[in-house]
Chain A
Amino acid sequence: MKDMLLQVEPLIPALRRYARALVRNRATADDLVQDCLERAVRRWHQYREGEVRAWLFAILHNLAVDQFRRVAARGRHVAIDATSEDNFGEAAVQEHRLMYKDVLSKLARLPEDQRAVLLLVAVEDLSYADAAKVLNIPVGTVMSRLSRARERLQQEIEGTVDNTPSNVVPIRSEK
């Protein structure tokens, strides 16, 4: 397990960041990362080759999706604006904090699948191919979701958001 420790441990901060940006709650996010690490330890013998990062993000993402489903099944509505700054970093310089908080609450308004693609690609630096593996979708779908995510976030930032449900905004048809 020593090789696992060496390969996985440096990635934990990034896993936390992804989980927290995705579920927007510190405790829930860390629980997901803990589950992810436990599962990774159990399945390390199944990990064969390729990017260990993509492998871990896939485990984490699937756990997050299960979590979303459980929350949805319980019928509990997670308020979109529940993003308290406590749930995000504290180290930010004060003057930047408001700006950061603002962009994160706008990010939180994106549909979950768009948010996931944008985070994996733009923040976690996964290749488009690795993001496709993590999300278990074709690369073409990664690209169309990325495009929609960026357009949508830009509308949020410019305050020109169209409140039509996102799945009928044909910025680019999904493959």
Chain B
Amino acid sequence: MNHRPITEDDLHAYVDRVLEPERQAEVAAYLGDHPDVAKRVTAFADQRDLLRAALAPIAEEPLPPKLNLARIIENRARRPSVARWAMAAMLLLSIGGLGGWAVRGAWQPSPSGLVALAQEATASYKVYAPDRIRPVEVRASDSGQLVQWVSDRLRRPVKVPDLTTSGYRLMGGRLVATEHGPAAMFMYDDDHGSRIVVLTRPMSSADQNAPMTPQSQGDVGGFAWADDGVGYSLVGHAAPEFLRPIANEVRKQARTI
């Protein structure tokens, strides 16, 4: 058996129990022959045990409300409207008597407003952006037909944003189904083939007008906003600081319909 010399790092790794079993045995054998070192190592191991025991109760304490992660996430999703969150909380308190089912429903609401819109955009992005065969139903070359079609279905004039100044070319679009009715999806790509999606539809009652809000789900993210009852969401596989100016451009163009 070759005996690599025992290092100070080995002693700590021995205390922290992260050595390979073979090395662990070598260190143990070494400590058997060197009582002074063994005394130090035992003291370190005792420290470790004592610290863990002394700090363990902190991790057992019940979490205070402000560390409720579900609520932090919820607040984040609704951040522009603290007042609305407060209203929801009051409503929740007032219906508290309705029982567990109602409370559970209130805590995990079926999303509406911008959150729902961003989820729809993300879902469309995830389904259509990786599609190499037919990511769009009507290609950019037929954009007149595309505009006519989605405007008819959304019952309002829809304009396709032109994002060439941001480096994105229109690939085309399609109508997508959402819980809140039909939505128009437009897809763009840049010179590297990376794609982004803009989704727009009339808003139901929630968020008729809402400021631009960052939204993300996993590694797909972007922004959502609503102007005069029409919601927009732009999503892609890119950092928010990269997508924000593009979203601003979409909003600017949409306002000049």
- Taking CB atoms and an 8 Å cut-off, the chain B residues in 6-39 that contact chain A are 8-9, 12-13, 15-16, 18
Tell me whether A123 and B52 are in contact in the complex, defined as CB-CB below 8 angstroms, given that A89-B57, A89-B58, A153-B47 are known contacts. Answer: yes
Total B residues in contact with A, Cβ cutoff 8 Å: 43
B86 contacts the other chain (CB 8 A): no
In whole Å, how far is A123's beta carbon from the nearest beta carbon of chain B?
Answer: 6
Interface centre among B9, B51, B58, B72 (most CB of A within 10 A): B58
A116 contacts the other chain (CB 8 A): no
Please classify the interface of chain A as helix (H, G, I), strand (E, B), loop, or mixed, using the class held by over half of its residues.
Answer: helix
Cα separation A100 to B57 with both chains bound (whole Å): 11
A168 contacts the other chain (CB 8 A): no
In whole Å, how far is B167's beta carbon from the nearest beta carbon of chain A?
Answer: 21
Q: Across the interface, which residues of B come within 8 angstroms of A1, CB to CB?
A: 73, 77, 217
Q: Which of chain B's residues has its CB closest to A36's CB?
A: B67
- Taking CB atoms and an 8 Å cut-off, the chain A residues in 1-41 that contact chain B are 1, 3-5, 8-9, 12-14, 16-17, 20-21, 30, 33-34, 37-38, 41
| Set A8, A13, A45, A157: member contacting B219, Cβ < 8 A | A45
Interchain CB contact under 8 A, B67 and A99: no
A134 contacts the other chain (CB 8 A): no
Cα separation A96 to B55 with both chains bound (whole Å): 12
B102 contacts the other chain (CB 8 A): no
In whole Å, how far is A46's beta carbon from the nearest beta carbon of chain B?
Answer: 7
In whole Å, how far is B86's beta carbon from the nearest beta carbon of chain A?
Answer: 18
Interface centre among A44, A45, A127, A172 (most CB of B within 10 A): A45
Report the 10 A-B pairs with minimum CB-CB distance, sorted nearest first: A89-B57, A100-B54, A13-B59, A91-B57, A45-B216, A17-B58, A45-B221, A122-B48, A17-B59, A1-B73
Interface centre among B47, B53, B60, B220 (most CB of A within 10 A): B47
| Set A42, A101, A107: member contacting B76, Cβ < 8 A | A42
Cα separation A150 to B14 with both chains bound (whole Å): 13
Interchain CB contact under 8 A, B58 and A92: no
Interchain CB contact under 8 A, B66 and A118: no
**On chain A, which size bracket covers the interface?**
35 or more
Q: Across the interface, which residues of B come within 8 angstroms of A147, CB to CB?
A: 8, 12
Q: Which of chain B's residues has its CB closest to A154's CB?
A: B43
In whole Å, how far is B216's beta carbon from the nearest beta carbon of chain A?
Answer: 4
Interchain CB contact under 8 A, A44 and B216: yes
Interchain CB contact under 8 A, A5 and B239: no
Tell me whether A5 and B240 are in contact in the complex, defined as CB-CB below 8 angstroms, given that A30-B64, A45-B219, A48-B219 are known contacts. Answer: no
Q: Across the interface, which residues of A come within 8 angstroms of B219, CB to CB?
A: 45, 48
Q: Across the interface, which residues of B come within 8 angstroms of A153, CB to CB?
A: 47
Q: Which of chain B's residues has its CB closest to A107's CB?
A: B51
A55 contacts the other chain (CB 8 A): no
Tell me whether A128 and B18 are in contact in the complex, defined as CB-CB below 8 angstroms, given that A16-B61, A103-B50, A103-B54 are known contacts. Answer: yes
Cα separation A135 to B50 with both chains bound (whole Å): 24
| Set B57, B76, B220: member contacting A88, Cβ < 8 A | B57
Interchain CB contact under 8 A, B60 and A89: yes
Cα separation A99 to B52 with both chains bound (whole Å): 12
Tell me whether A154 and B47 are in contact in the complex, defined as CB-CB below 8 angstroms, given that A30-B66, A30-B67 are known contacts. Answer: yes
Interchain CB contact under 8 A, B66 and A34: yes
Q: Pull 29 A–B residue pairs with CB atoms less than 8 Å apart, ordered by A.
A: A8-B69, A12-B63, A16-B59, A17-B55, A17-B56, A20-B55, A37-B67, A41-B69, A44-B216, A45-B218, A45-B221, A45-B240, A88-B55, A88-B58, A89-B54, A89-B55, A89-B58, A89-B61, A90-B61, A100-B53, A103-B50, A104-B54, A119-B51, A123-B48, A143-B12, A150-B12, A150-B15, A154-B40, A157-B47
